Amino acid sequence: MKIEKEFQFHGDRQAGRLLAGLAGAGRSDTRARRAVVQALCVAPDRSTPAELLERGRAIHPHLAPVTVYRTLDLLQSLGLVERLHHPDGCSSFMPAPAAHGHHVTCERCRRTVEFSGCAIGSLARSARAQTGFTVHSHWLELTGLCPDCRRAGAARGRAS
Amino acid sequence: MKIEKEFQFHGDRQAGRLLAGLAGAGRSDTRARRAVVQALCVAPDRSTPAELLERGRAIHPHLAPVTVYRTLDLLQSLGLVERLHHPDGCSSFMPAPAAHGHHVTCERCRRTVEFSGCAIGSLARSARAQTGFTVHSHWLELTGLCPDCRRAGAARGRAS
DNA sequence: GTGATTGCAAATCGTTTGCATTCAG
DNA sequence: CTGAATGCAAACGATTTGCAATCAC
């Protein structure tokens, strides 16, 4: 399988896109930011700030946690990354997808993938009908099992 | 309007339901728990732990924050209250609705109401088709404007 | 009485802020 | 050069934990 390689290419392309976005917004092209962006884009799915710090330090050893947060905030404000909220209050991040979609997270391996399509319309309509609220935005996360974990772990419980 | 009164009645009924649930699970019926449960049920919508502490202390002045959290955890583990996660990592709580439904939160006044019905099925199906993930659970929050705020603030921009 | 429950105080942990230093353009 | 960006250290704030005192049954 060349999947890793594919991801690598994909990640590089994505990193380029994010860096271009930063440049387009008139922001400096610094080592720290490159490190964070690359750390973010080498992962096929989402990353926590701590993971980004660790991976980023492989590229730029001086990298500080605070810079990871600031860079992520900046990228998010530019719409270049998407923040995923965890129930425990922490966040993780992934490069923003091109089209509006949603995530599925594997409850065993924590892998998160994007899928396209958004059928929230009917839900919004019924919300409107029942409550009088007009819906402006929504946030949805699905949880389940990815194919690998389903195959591998049907018998076992989920890993913590 | 007697809506307040209605809520009062509704809240009392709901408080009774929660207390009954605790008793049914073999848990002690303590002052602290009663205070938290009542504080939770007098609100027509969700409450933060801090709000519950304040309201609860009106009933049981000794109430400590830690007890609010522990009681909420317990109620949640019994399926009697539902936890709502905020993007900033905090939580708020509301008595669990009878049927599976979702929430709409007003982006201006923060009021949250339930509505029934769950059209996630089609979304789960398309997730499965596109990603291979099987969906076991989901979490959805809708954001928009409640009728009052829409009426009051139609001319103004939305509050941040 | 006895184990569950409570509350105080201190700890935790992800995240943010103050401020002096360093870097990119 | 000069403002933007960084990093260290300290602050923050919601939530959790250790442990002794208290309460419900």
Domains along chain B with CATH numbers: 1-84 (1.10.10.10), 99-160 (3.30.1490.190)
Which nucleotide's C1' atom has the smallest distance to the CA of A62?
D7
Indicate the DSSP class of residue B158: P
Res. A160: pLDDT tops 80: no
Cβ <8 Å between A85 and B87: yes
Q: Does B117 touch chain A (CB under 8 A)?
A: yes
If you measure CA to CA, which chain B residue comes closest to A136? B144
Q: Which two tokens stand for residue B9?
A: 């009645």
- Buried/exposed code over A87-96 (b: 16+ C-beta within 10 A; e: otherwise): eeeebbbbbb
> How high is the pLDDT of residue A38?
96
Place A157 in a pLDDT band, splitting at 50, 70 and 90.
very low
Phi, psi (5° rounding) for residue A139? Answer: -145, 125
Three-class SS of B12-56: HHHHHHHHHHHHHCCCCCCHHHHHHHHHHHHCCCCECHHHHHHHH
Say whether the CB atom of B62 is under 7 angstroms from strand C.
yes
Minimum-distance CB partner of B85 among A85, A115, A143: A85
Min Cα separation B24/chain A (Å) = 28
Tens-place pLDDT, residues A29-69? 999 999 999 999 998 778 999 999 999 999 999 999 999 99
Is 0.95 surpassed by the pTM of this model?
A: no
Average pLDDT of chain B to the nearest whole number = 82
Cβ-based contacts of B140 with chain A (< 8 Å): 123, 138-140
Cβ(A44)–Cβ(A112) below 8 Å: no
